[in-house]
Amino acid sequence: MKKEISRKFCVAPMMGYTTPYARKLYRILSNNSFLFSEMIATKSLIYSKSRENIIDNDFNNPVALQVGGSEIEDLRKASKIAIDYNYDEINLNVGCPSKAVQKGSFGACLMRDKILVRNCMEALQNDKIEASLKCRLGLGKELNYEFFEEFIDEISKTGIKFIYVHARNAILSGISPQGNRTIPPLSYDFVKKIKNKFPNITFILNGGIKNLDEAESLLKEFDGVMLGRLIKNNPFILKEVDKKIFKEKNKLIDESIINNYFEYIKPKLGLESIFRLLSPLLSIFFSVPHSKTYRSKINDYMKDQKINLIEDLLIKFVSEKNLS
């Protein structure tokens, strides 16, 4: 049975960032945000010996597993794995422009073949889990609404309910994945128009949302918003989401956030790299000014795996910089 879940505020899938560890931290900070895994290639999902470390979902629901692939049988298997690991949704990546992903015939290049994407979505569908799509507006330098509408029209035939739109084109050659997140212009208007055309589909707006005030105001016009880099650079923004977006009472958040997080990662030390375990918290140093001294101390402690000292230092940092 599929559950009724709010997708009003989603944290975007980000490779190398939205690991099981980051999702644990995000969940400690917000009860209601809808979370995503990083994109996992279907082959890794099916065959990797370290699958457990890649897709572990320690009851951090609601959460979607994002996959990259276009082989029908693999997608069917991926969907079953997502159910086994208690995910609420399986999401197909049709937005990643990287060369490696194009070589594997998945990601944004699939927007060239709407029939194939439709077949992929049908392969993911299963009555125990929601199957959704994350896509761009189109391909290349020119924005073309007709292309976008024809693409969505084909996908709509699967009965899909949720589509996350990174509201810019992907340019498949000549610019990097980073450039593809800033250079092609955003068009929220395309998402507004498509939402009116397909009222049975929930469209979640993604791309360039700069702060929670903007997210809140966009929610007056859109069914949901998805934020990536803002949360990656400062996960502590999530502690405002339940109050501001979901109108819950202010949750008491203090140094226990750090304690809870360390409680989760400490038993994993030795099984997983200390960097991967700590990186969801360490990204904060890039968005908070004057944190160099902390950063270099933590680097030293990381080399010696002094996890308790790192925990103490982070608690001090968070309270000194007024993050909690």
Ligand X SMILES: Cc1cc2nc3c(=O)[nH]c(=O)nc-3n(C[C@H](O)[C@H](O)[C@H](O)COP(=O)(O)O)c2cc1C
Q: List, by residue number, the catalytic residues.
A: 96
Which of 8, 9, 10, 13 lies at the binding interface for ligand X (CB under 6 A)?
13
Q: Does the footprint of ligand X cover residue 38 (CB under 6 A)? A: yes
Q: Does the footprint of ligand X cover residue 89 (CB under 6 A)? A: no
In three-state form (DSSP H/G/I as H, E/B as E, the rest C), the secondary structure along the chain is: CCCCCCCCEEECCCCCCCCHHHHHHHHHHCCCCEEECCCEEHHHHHHCCCHHHHHCCCCCCCEEEEEECCCHHHHHHHHHHHHHCCCCEEEEEECCCCHHHHHCCCHHHHHHCHHHHHHHHHHHCECCEEEEEEECCCECCCCCHHHHHHHHHHHHCCCCCEEEEECCCECCCCCCCCHHHCCCCCCHHHHHHHHHHCCCCEEEEECCCCCHHHHHHHCCCCCEEEECHHHHHCHHHHHHHHHHCCCCCCCCCCCHHHHHHHHHHHHHECCECHHHHHHHHHHHHHCCCCCHHHHHHHHHHHHCCCHHHHHHHHHHHHHHCCCC
Smallest gap from residue 186 Cβ to ligand X (A): 9
Cβ proximity to ligand X, 211 vs 273, nearer residue: 211
Which of 41, 108, 152, 209 lies at the binding interface for ligand X (CB under 6 A)?
209
Smallest gap from residue 33 Cβ to ligand X (A): 13
State the number of binding residues for ligand X (CB under 6 A): 23
Stretch that binds ligand X, among 112-120, 121-129, 205-213, 269-277 (CB under 6 A): 205-213
Smallest gap from residue 273 Cβ to ligand X (A): 18
The pairing of beta strand 130-135 with beta strand 224-227: unpaired
Q: Does the footprint of ligand X cover residue 301 (CB under 6 A)? A: no
Q: Does the footprint of ligand X cover residue 227 (CB under 6 A)? A: yes
Smallest gap from residue 319 Cβ to ligand X (A): 28
Stretch that binds ligand X, among 7-15, 21-29, 118-126, 274-282 (CB under 6 A): 7-15
Question: 239 and 29 in contact (C-beta within 8 Å)?
Answer: yes
* Conformation bin of residue 283: beta by default, left when phi > 0, alpha when psi is -120 to 50: alpha
Q: Tell me the backbone φ, ψ of residue 59, rounded to 5 degrees.
A: 55, 40
Integer Cα distance of 80 and 67 in angstroms? 12
Stretch that binds ligand X, among 57-65, 90-98, 120-128, 246-254 (CB under 6 A): 90-98
Q: Does the footprint of ligand X cover residue 15 (CB under 6 A)? A: yes
Cβ proximity to ligand X, 39 vs 315, nearer residue: 39
Cβ proximity to ligand X, 20 vs 207, nearer residue: 207
Contacts (CB under 6 A) with ligand X, residues 93-132: 93, 95-96
Which of 43, 51, 76, 181 lies at the binding interface for ligand X (CB under 6 A)?
181
Q: Does the footprint of ligand X cover residue 229 (CB under 6 A)? A: yes
Stretch that binds ligand X, among 88-96, 140-148, 293-301, 312-320 (CB under 6 A): 88-96
Which of 25, 39, 82, 172 lies at the binding interface for ligand X (CB under 6 A)?
39
Stretch that binds ligand X, among 24-32, 53-61, 150-158, 202-210 (CB under 6 A): 202-210
Interacting residues with ligand X (CB under 6 A): 12-17, 38-39, 66, 93, 95-96, 134, 166, 181, 206-209, 227-230
